[in-house]
Chains A and B, each alone.
Chain A
Amino acid sequence: MIEHPKAEELVEAVARWIDSVRPQLAPRDAFLARVAANALGVVKRELQQGAAAEAAAVERLSAVLGRGGTLSELNADLCARLRAGEMDAATPGLLAALRANITEQIAIDQPSYAPEPG
């Protein structure tokens, strides 16, 4: 992977530029510019954390399901079993695995989100 600059540095530079011109924009465009800069924040965090989060999610779901596969295969299998009633909230380890996965996902999507207190 090219490192000078890294992809996340390019994304960050564009986000900074958007932020710098935001004050000159009309209200609707200023709002959308903020959304655009936030979108680049998601991309940057996914570049940095996405691969590790996905690998960890695959490992957790594999343990719950007792099989291997890609993340989308495992998600699809788990959804099918939940829908069929073969697994539910009482399935050992399921909620813990889902919590760990979604915690890493929200760290990418919306790190400032204050979740429902436990």
Chain B
Amino acid sequence: MSDQVLEGLQRLAPELAGEGASVEGLQRLSGGASMETWAFVLVGRDARDELVLRRRTAPMAPEEGRSVSLATEAALITAAHAAGAPVAQLVHLARPADGLGEAHITRRVAGETLGRKIVSDPRFEAVRPKLARQCGEILAQIHAAPPPPGLKTVDALEELARYEEVYRKSGAERPILELAFQHLKKIAPPPVAPVLLHGDFRNGNLMIDSERGVSAVLDWELSHCGDPAEDLGWICVNSWRFGRADLPVGGFGHYEDLLAGYVAAGGQEIPLSRVLYWQALGSLKWGVMCLMMYASYASGAESSVERPMIGRRVSETEIDLVTLLENGL
């Protein structure tokens, strides 16, 4: 596998960085069942570029039905960059002749992605208070970008229906999740004109630089079109505040700053109640995802101890949902 990747990259190097260019330090960063990430250095005559290769190693699985292709991911990164959002810029989208399979190459951006460090490490103390506003600005930029062709459009009721179906199939009977489904269906806000959404904009998918703040928005594979408040609410889900429940935006900031940044960068005024609605829907989605991860263990499809333990995280979403309901969502 590594040989095939190295060969493909060496063949491509002169095209990307001029005659005599080569690839050094190829290193696997992560690999799931169907996707691999590799880091490498492209050494040209005048420059050394740190790059990242992402490649699909197996056809898209049915449960990834919501994931976009790497070609679409490349188009999203390009569109977001053109709109002014910080991204790991696209360097190359692999063609069949490259021998790399379905893959793309982006720049490697320095910084921290671990949510717990971002909310607690003293290194980020100075930049932390600026992050919520910055996230609002970046989301306004992404939401203003033209969506690449082929993206799905989903509103709140469709999203609820999709997750309710998964929940029903799981066979679980959890009163708080049931109450949340019924309540969120009942109070669903009227649909708005859909915009391009990142789809997984949360602490954990943001590269944070200790001086500049957000240096890149990562992981575009769940991108789709929908209500702008969906992205704003998702980063406020308590499950990605990493212990800083008092700071609703990612564990580092306040709703007011997120919304002010959004408007300052040209986004529409969005009422906090709509963000809270999508935040609650986000907690509910994460609860159902935790149930699914347990189900993958129970069915024998996965054997890692991590899977059943994630099942015990359903209760964190339930306690947060009860609080949001008590607060008059």
Residues of A whose CB lies within 8 Å of any CB of B are 32, 35-36, 38-39, 42, 72, 75-76, 78-79, 82-83, 85, 88-89, 94-95, 98-99, 102-103, 105-106, 109-110, 112-118
- Contact in complex: A110, B322 (CB < 8 Å): no
* Contact between chains at A114 and B325 (CB < 8 Å): no
Q: Interface with A: B6-14, B130-138, B177-185, B216-224, which one?
A: B177-185
A85, B186: Cα distance in complex, Å: 10
Chain B 159-194 near chain A by CB (<8 Å), digits 1 or 0: 000000000000001111011001100100000000
Partner-binding segment picked from B60-68, B104-112, B199-207, B301-309: B301-309
Bound Cα distance A103, B320 (Å): 10
Query: A117–B316 contact, CB under 8 A?
Result: no
Given known contacts A79-B173, A115-B238, is B304 in contact with A95 (CB within 8 Å)? Answer: no
Complex: A39 Cα to B322 Cα, angstroms: 25
Interchain CB contact under 8 A, A118 and B315:
no
B323 beta carbon closer than 8 Å to chain A: yes
* Contact B175–A39 (Cβ < 8 Å): no
Closest beta carbon of chain B to A45's beta carbon, Å: 11
CB pair B182 A88 closer than 8 Å: yes
Closest Cβ neighbor of B314 among chain A residues: A109
Q: Which listed residue (A32, A42, A79, A112) contacts B174, Cβ 8 A?
A: A79
Which of B183, B245, B315 sits near A117, CB closer than 8 Å? B245
Query: For residue B326, which residues in chain A have a CB less than 8 angstroms away from its CB?
Result: 95, 99, 118
Pick from A32, A78, A94, A116: contact of B320, CB under 8 Å: A116
Report the minimal beta-carbon distance from B239 to chain A, rounded to whole angstroms. 9
Name B's interface SS: helix
Which residues 234-261 of B have a CB within 8 angstroms of A?
Answer: 238, 241, 243-246
Q: Does B327 contact A (CB under 8 A)?
A: yes
A-B contacts, 27 of them at CB < 8 A, read A32-B306, A35-B305, A72-B173, A79-B178, A82-B179, A82-B182, A83-B178, A89-B183, A89-B325, A95-B325, A98-B318, A98-B322, A102-B315, A102-B318, A102-B319, A103-B319, A109-B313, A110-B312, A114-B238, A114-B243, A114-B244, A114-B245, A116-B319, A116-B320, A116-B323, A116-B324, A118-B326
Which of B241, B319, B325 touches A106 (beta carbons < 8 Å)?
Answer: B319
Determine which of A32, A42, A116 lies in contact with B312 in the assembled complex, contact meaning CB atoms within 8 Å.
A42
A102–B305 Cα gap in the complex (Å)?
24
- Name the residue in B173, B316, B322 with the highest tally of chain A Cβ atoms < 10 Å from its Cβ: B322
Q: Once A and B bind, how many residue pairs between them come within 8 Å at the CB atom? A: 97
Tell me whether B182 and A39 are in contact (CB under 8 A).
no
CB contact under 8 A between A95 and B322, given known A35-B309, A114-B243: yes
- Give Cα A83–Cα B176 distance, bound, in whole angstroms: 11
Apart from A32-B305, A89-B183, 19 more pairs, CB < 8 Å: A32-B304, A35-B306, A75-B175, A76-B173, A79-B178, A82-B179, A83-B182, A88-B182, A88-B183, A88-B186, A103-B319, A110-B312, A114-B238, A114-B243, A115-B238, A115-B320, A115-B323, A117-B246, A118-B326
- Kindly report which residue of chain B lies nearest to residue A99, judged by CB atoms: B322
Give CA–CA (A104, B179) in the complex, Å: 19
Option from A32, A82, A89, A115 in Cβ contact (under 8 Å) with B316: A115
Point out the residues of chain B lying under 8 angstroms from A75, CB to CB.
173-175
Chain B residues contacting A102 (CB-CB under 8 Å) are 176, 315, 318-319, 322
For residue B223, give the distance in angstroms from its CB to the closest CB of chain A. 27
- 5 residue pairs, one from A and one from B, having the closest CB atoms: A114-B245, A116-B320, A116-B323, A109-B312, A79-B178
How long is the Cα–Cα vector from A110 to B290 in the complex, in angstroms? 14
Check if B182 sits within 8 Å of A114, measured CB to CB: no
Which residues of B lie under 8 Å from residue A110 when comparing CB positions? Answer: 312-313, 315-316
